[in-house]
């Protein structure tokens, strides 16, 4: 039987993830985006000319989900697709000016989220929180890419 303490921790992790996603979706809604579309834009801004398959890997999403996000972002004018002249099956995703104009807003949303998360923590607690987040993300990344 699962211990109540373990289940309580698992529940809090899910609640935290949901709260962060909700907060980011509210912030992104003002820009006409979802939180995952904001993540895709951030990845494209940091990797101009990225392929859809590389974007899929970075975000840890399925091919069909990534294709839908790319199509919506292109339709909204946030990115352009450029054919690879050497491999016609491959497309490069480049940010449009509209996308470039969002960079500061995306950074500010990330910083606001961080400020909310660490509010009331000492410097030492923030350091430990970051260390534990890195460990948890490493663990979850191995699951997302099928290494677990």
E-state strands within the chain: 50-51, 79-83, 91-95
CB of 39 closer than 8 Å to CB of 59: yes
Q: Domain-by-domain residue ranges, the chain? A: 23-109
Q: What is the pLDDT of residue 14?
A: 93
Q: What is the pLDDT of residue 144?
A: 62
45/23 Cα distance (integer angstroms): 22
List the pLDDT tens digit at each of the 148 positions of the chain: 567 777 888 899 999 999 999 999 999 998 899 999 999 999 999 999 999 999 999 998 999 999 999 999 999 999 999 887 777 778 899 999 999 999 999 999 999 999 999 999 999 999 999 999 999 988 887 776 554 4
State both tokens at 29: 């809604």
Radius of gyration of the chain (CA): 18
36/21 Cα distance (integer angstroms): 9
Q: What is the pLDDT of residue 145?
A: 54
Q: What are phi and psi of 63, to 5 degrees?
A: -65, -45
CATH no. of 23-109: 1.10.10.10
DSSP annotation of 48 reads: T
């Amino acid at each position: 039987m699962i211990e109540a303490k373990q289940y309580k921790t698992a529940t809090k992790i899910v609640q935290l993830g949901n709260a962060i996603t909700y907060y980011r979706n509210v912030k992104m809604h003002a820009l006409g985006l979802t939180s995952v579309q904001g993540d895709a834009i951030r990845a494209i801004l940091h990797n101009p000319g990225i392929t859809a398959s590389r974007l899929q890997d970075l975000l840890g999403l399925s091919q069909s989900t990534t294709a839908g996000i790319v199509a919506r972002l292109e339709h909204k004018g946030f990115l352009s697709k450029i054919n690879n002249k050497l491999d016609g099956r491959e497309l490069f995703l480049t940010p449009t000016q509209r996308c470039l104009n969002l960079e500061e807003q995306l950074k500010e949303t990330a910083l606001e989220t961080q400020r909310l998360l660490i509010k009331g923590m000492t410097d030492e607690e923030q350091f430990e929180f970051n260390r534990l987040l890195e460990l948890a993300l490493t663990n979850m990344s191995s699951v997302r890419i099928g290494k677990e």
